[in-house]
Chain A
Amino acid sequence: MMRAARPFLAVEGLSVEFPTEDGRVQAVDGVSFSVERGKTLAIVGESGSGKSVTAQAIMGLIDRRLSVVSGRAWLEGRDLVAMSDDEVRHERGSSMAMIFQDPMSSLHPFYRIGAQLSEAVLVHQKVSKQEAREQVLEMLNRVGIPDPKTRIDDYPHQLSGGMRQRVMIAMALINSPALLIADEPTTALDVTVQSQILELIGTLQQEYDTAVVMITHDLGIVADIADHVAVMYGGRIVESGTVDEIFYEPQMPYTLGLLSSVPRLDQVRAERLDPIPGNPPSPISLPPGCVFQPRCAYSDRVTSHACETVRPELVDIGGGHTMRCHLDADQRGQIASDVLSALAGGGA
C-alpha cells in the first residue's frame, strides 16, 4: 500500500532522556502516534508514565541543554525535533499551543490578563497594540468570558478557576494554532466547570479544525471526547487504537486493569473493585522485560518467560490497533472477554 501523505501531527520514536543524580532516566521511550486536524487523541496514563513529558517534548519545552530529545515529531511535514530552539519557538503559540493543569499558577500573577494575551498576539503577528487588544477582546468573548471589556483589565486572581482556564484557552487559541495540546486541563476544576471547559474545547476545535492532544488520567474524559487513545505506561505506549477499540476490545493487561480500577458513576459493578496490584514503576529503575510485568496477573501464562526478560515490541493487531504484550492472540482474547464480562455483570 502506498503511504499517503504524512498525518498532520506524526510523532515517530520520540524519546526523552533526563540526567538525574541516579543516572540517566529514560522518561519517554520510542513513542509514536499521529493526529489529524479536527481529531482528538487522548494520551492516558498514571503519574510517571511519561505523558506530560511527551507533550512538552513536542512543544519544545524540554531544555535540550540538559536532556536528550530524539526521534521525530512532524507537524505539517516539518520535524519539530530537528528544528533549532529559535525555529521551534516560532511554532509555539502560532501553529501549536498548549494549556496546562492549574490555570491559577499558569497565569502570571502580576500582569493583567489583557497584557498576557496581547503578548501572545504581538510575538507572532505584526500588528499594533490596539489591534492586538481588539483580537484579545474578540477571543475572550469567544471563550465565554462575560463582559470581556471589563475582564480584560482584571488580574488572574480576580477570576474564578473556570474563568482562568477559559483565559488560558483564549491565550492558546488566539493565533489559531492547528494543534492544541491540553495537559490535564480540567483536573484542578470542579466537575460542573469541567464539563463547561470540555465543551468549549470541543466547540473551538470544530471551529478552527484543530488537532487536539488531550493528556489525562480520567477515562471518563477519554470516553467523552477522544477519537483515538494512546495508553502510556513506564514511558512507553503500551496500547493504542480508536476509542472503541480501547474501551471495548482492549488487549493489553494494563489497559484492562485501568478499566477495572475505575469506579463508575453509572453503575456499581461489585462491592470491591479489581485494582492492579502494586505501584507504577519508577522511571529510574524500570524492570528489564515488559515494564508492566511485575504488576501483571497474566505474565505466568507466557510459557517462554519472555515477560521478565524481553521488552515486547509494539505490534499492530489490525487496522492501527497496536499494543505491546507477549501473550498470544487467543490468550489476550480470553482474558479480555473474562474481564469485560466481569465488569459488565458485576452490578447485576
Chain B
Amino acid sequence: MSAYVVRRILSMVLLLVLLSLVVFILFSLLPADPARLTCGKGCTPSVLEANRIKLGLDLPVIQQYWEFVKGLFVGRTYAANSPDPVQCSAPCLGYSFKRGEEVFVLIKDRLPATIWLAFGAFVLWLAAGISLGIYSALRRGRWQDRSVMGFALVGYSLPSFFIGLVAIFFIIIRWQLLPFPSYISPFENPVQFLQTMILPWIILATLYAAFYMRLTRNQMLEVLGDDYIRTARAKGLPERTVIRKHALRAGLTPIVTAAGLDLAGLLGGAIITESIFSLPGVGSLAVNSVNDADLPLIVGITLVAATFIIIANLIVDLLYAVIDPRVRLT
C-alpha cells in the first residue's frame, strides 16, 4: 500500500512535468506576443526587445521551461543584468509583469474564496443530491420519483449565470433579503461571510445536485437489481438493512469518484459563479488573466488547477481501495 502510494506520487510528479511542458509549448505557439502586451502605448522596438529579454522570451522554449522549473524550487530573478531586476522567490510559478506580482502570491490570495465556495457547495450538493437520489430510487416510477427527477431536469438545464442573476435581482436588489455580496474571511466577519456565500453556494450546488440526484438514482436502481441484494432479502434481512447496509455501500462507490473529481475541478475556480457574485477567487482571476493575455498567470492557474485534479485522482483511487476490497493497490 505505501509502496503503491509512493509509486503513484512519483507518476503524479511525472504527469505534472509533462502537463506543464505541454501547457508551456501550447502557450508559446500562441500568436499573441506577451512582450508586446507588457509594452504599452509608447512601445518602441528597443523597449519591446528589452521586455522580451526581461521575460526570458528570447530563449528557446525548452530553456524557458527549464528556467520555469528551476524557479519552482529555487526561485528566479528576471532581468538579472538590467538595472531593475525582478525577484521571484521559490516556489516561483512565474511573474506577472502586468500585475507586478508573483503568480504564486496572486493565486494564493485568491484561493481561500474559491476553497470556501467549493467546499460549501460540495456539502450542499452531496447532501441534497444523494438523499434525493436514494429517495427517488426507492419510489421508482411513483409521483415522488417523478417530481424529484423533474426538479433535477430543471436544475440541470437552467444555466447557473441565469439563476444567479435572477437570484441577485430578486433576493438582493428587489427584496433586499441579503446585502450586496462582498467577500470577507469567515475569521474576520462570519456573518458577512455567510451572507455573501449563501447564494453562490446554492446556485453552484443546484447544478451539481441535479447531476448527483440522477447519478445516485441510477446507481441505486442498478444495485437494487443485483443478485446480492436478492440474497440479502432471501436471508430475511429487514428492507431497511438491505438498503442501508447492502445497497448503499455498493451504490455509492462510483459517486465517490465523481464527487472527488468534481470538487477538485471546482478548486481550480468556479468561473461563472465567482464572476456573477464578484467573489475574489481563482476563477475570476483566471477570467481576468485571459482578458489581459497575462501569460505567466494563465500558465500558473492552469498548473494549479491540474494539480488539484491529479491529487484528487490519487485520493479517489485510495478511497476506492478502502471501500471495495476487490481493488488491490499493487
B234 touches A105 (CB 8 A): no
Q: Is A292 at the interface (CB under 8 A from chain B)? A: no
Complex Cα gap A120–B234 (Å): 9
B246 touches A97 (CB 8 A): no
Q: Is A240 at the interface (CB under 8 A from chain B)? A: no
A59 touches B228 (CB 8 A): no
Residues of chain B contacted by A94 (CB below 8 angstroms): 236
B236 touches A109 (CB 8 A): no
A90 touches B236 (CB 8 A): yes
Residues of B within 8 A of A (CB): 226-228, 230-239, 241, 246, 249-250, 323-326
Residues of chain B contacted by A155 (CB below 8 angstroms): 325-326
Q: Is A91 at the interface (CB under 8 A from chain B)? A: yes
B238 touches A110 (CB 8 A): no
Q: What distance in Å separates the Cβ of A236 from its nearest Cβ neighbour in chain B?
A: 24
Complex Cα gap A155–B321 (Å): 13
- Closest B-chain residue to A90, C-beta based? B236
Q: What distance in Å separates the Cβ of A170 from its nearest Cβ neighbour in chain B?
A: 12
- Closest A-chain residue to B140, C-beta based? A66
Q: Is A230 at the interface (CB under 8 A from chain B)? A: no
A-B pairs with lowest CB-CB distance, top 6: A93-B236, A92-B236, A105-B227, A93-B235, A108-B228, A120-B235
B324 touches A124 (CB 8 A): no
Question: 0/1 per residue, A92-109, Cβ < 8 Å to B?
Answer: 111001101010011111
- Partner among A89, A100, A105 whose Cβ is within 8 Å of the Cβ of B238: A89
Residues of A within 8 A of B (CB): 59, 61, 89-94, 97-98, 100, 102, 105-110, 112, 119-120, 123-124, 155, 157, 168, 171-172
- Closest A-chain residue to B234, C-beta based? A98
- Partner among A108, A123, A157 whose Cβ is within 8 Å of the Cβ of B231: A108
- Closest B-chain residue to A89, C-beta based? B236
A109 touches B325 (CB 8 A): yes
Complex Cα gap A110–B233 (Å): 17
Residues of chain B contacted by A91 (CB below 8 angstroms): 236
Complex Cα gap A110–B321 (Å): 11
Complex Cα gap A14–B281 (Å): 66
Residues of chain B contacted by A98 (CB below 8 angstroms): 234
Complex Cα gap A93–B226 (Å): 19
- Partner among A61, A108, A123, A171 whose Cβ is within 8 Å of the Cβ of B250: A108
A110 touches B250 (CB 8 A): yes
Residues of chain A contacted by B326 (CB below 8 angstroms): 109, 155, 157
Complex Cα gap A334–B307 (Å): 82
A119 touches B234 (CB 8 A): no
Q: List 6 A-B contacts (CB under 8 A).
A: A89-B233, A106-B227, A110-B325, A120-B236, A123-B235, A124-B236
Complex Cα gap A250–B151 (Å): 60
Q: A106 with B233: in contact, given A89-B238, A155-B326, A157-B325 (CB under 8 Å)?
A: no
- Closest A-chain residue to B324, C-beta based? A110
Q: What distance in Å separates the Cβ of B39 from its nearest Cβ neighbour in chain A?
A: 62
Q: A110 with B323: in contact, given A100-B231, A105-B227, A105-B228 (CB under 8 Å)?
A: yes
Q: What distance in Å separates the Cβ of A111 from its nearest Cβ neighbour in chain B?
A: 8
A97 touches B325 (CB 8 A): no
Complex Cα gap A119–B325 (Å): 19
Residues of chain A contacted by B250 (CB below 8 angstroms): 108-110
Residues of chain A contacted by B233 (CB below 8 angstroms): 61, 89, 92
- Closest A-chain residue to B236, C-beta based? A93
Residues of chain B contacted by A108 (CB below 8 angstroms): 228, 231-232, 246, 250
Residues of chain A contacted by B246 (CB below 8 angstroms): 108
Residues of chain A contacted by B238 (CB below 8 angstroms): 89, 123
- Partner among B227, B249, B323 whose Cβ is within 8 Å of the Cβ of A100: B227
Known pairs A59-B234, A106-B228, A171-B231 / 11 extra A-B pairs, C-beta < 8 Å: A61-B233, A89-B237, A93-B234, A93-B237, A97-B234, A105-B228, A110-B249, A112-B325, A123-B236, A123-B241, A168-B231
Residues of chain B contacted by A90 (CB below 8 angstroms): 236
Residues of chain A contacted by B325 (CB below 8 angstroms): 109-110, 112, 155, 157
Residues of chain B contacted by A171 (CB below 8 angstroms): 231, 235
Residues of chain B contacted by A93 (CB below 8 angstroms): 234-237
- Closest B-chain residue to A59, C-beta based? B234
Complex Cα gap A106–B237 (Å): 15
Complex Cα gap A106–B246 (Å): 12
Q: What distance in Å separates the Cβ of B41 from its nearest Cβ neighbour in chain A?
A: 66
